[in-house]
Amino acid sequence: MPLIKVLVVEDSPVVCNFLVHILGSDPGIRVVGTAIDGEEAIEAVQRLRPDVITMDIYMAKMDGLETTRRIMETHPTPIVIVSSIINPRDVEMTFQATKAGALAFLPLPAGIGHPEHETTARELVQTVKLMSEVKVIRRWTQSQRVSPASRPPEIYGKILPRRVSVVAIGTSTGGPPVLNTILAGLPENFPAPVLIVQHISSGFSQGFVEWLAQSSALALKLAEHGEHILPAHVYIAPDEFQMEVENGGKIALIRGEPENGMRPSVSRLFRSVAEVYGSSAVAGLLTGMGRDGAAELKLLREKGAITFAQDKESSAVHGMPGEAIKLDAAMFVLAPQEIISLLTNLVSGKQAGIN
């Protein structure tokens, strides 16, 4: 297998050397260059053509957000944000960078000698390897963007109005900007609770909720054990817990084993939704690696729930939704704007796709 070429963008010489050491210690990775700011990074991308870029978020001259935006507009390359300090400003910029095209984000690995060093260093190496397999696309500038034409409402078929008790969504790589779009498009009186599992690195969940809340009219929060789910509220699964829903509409957070390598796991949430709500649920899978939740989306469809999957064209990685489509688990295969239309019209009792 050819070596994965990595460009490390980091303004701290100490941190840069640390990252080069971790990545260079893996025989499948070759660090081909480093850059201390965004201007150097853009020049290095053009010259070195790396397979993956690790990106610092706060740098002089040009920050990681603007650098990511420009790289994705000119030389699209998988970008992993590596943040040395997780503070509110950096977290917000990190999620803005995902809107600009960054695929993943991680905290800086723990230092050598720290009990978590090997685990966090291994996570960085594994993430870089996984992201090297993603085929990213060019992100056009705002002035060049053209909104895709909406598909005719007939694609939804005819759905009888029904009572929707809950909406459950699972996503992974590329999920934050898609969730941002969908939640921003739902009305403040959305008449159902929304439960979300987003595969995300530990330490980013609270910042993720705060970032989503800036553009959504719904009430967003990290889920808490034992609380009742309410309409027009969005509950995000917290770090290191499996999230389930119990009879009576209560959330259960469990320190269970990872499932599909994940905790929280979409599969775990979807199974509980299928058991408790069955045909009164709506559930879907958005962009993400792997197959977490695909078989359980099929279970939900078999129980009469409305199910959907994000389409390939709008997905950063079509793993999870693609697996669901292969299993015939998704009734609808939709772009994010179409998912907004489906959810809004379905829960309001109208035929999906008709405003």
Catalytic residues, by residue number, are 172, 199, 292
At 170, is the secondary structure helix, strand, or coil? strand
Distance between CA atoms of residues 171 and 122, nearest Å: 22
* Residue 145 neighbours by CB under 8 Å, 6+ apart: none
Instruction: Report the amino acid identity of residue 313.
Output: E
Helices (H), the chain: 13-24, 38-48, 64-74, 88-100, 117-131, 175-185, 205-213, 266-276, 294-302, 319-326, 336-347
Length of the chain: 355
Question: What's the CA dihedral at 174, 292, 329, 287 to 10 degrees?
Answer: 0
Instruction: Report the amino acid identity of residue 142.
Output: Q
Distance between CA atoms of residues 81 and 95, nearest Å: 9
What is the DSSP-derived secondary structure letter of residue 318? B
**DSSP per position, 123-166:** HHHHHHHHHTT----PPPPGGG--PPPPPPGGGG---------E
Q: Are 39 and 62 in contact (CB under 8 A)?
A: yes
* CA-CA-CA-CA torsion sign (120, 56, 175, 214): positive
Tokens of 60: 């002089």
Q: Are 52 and 4 in contact (CB under 8 A)?
A: yes
Distance between CA atoms of residues 246 and 349, nearest Å: 25
Distance between CA atoms of residues 234 and 159, nearest Å: 24
Radius of gyration in angstroms for the set of CA atoms belonging to the chain, rounded to a whole number: 20
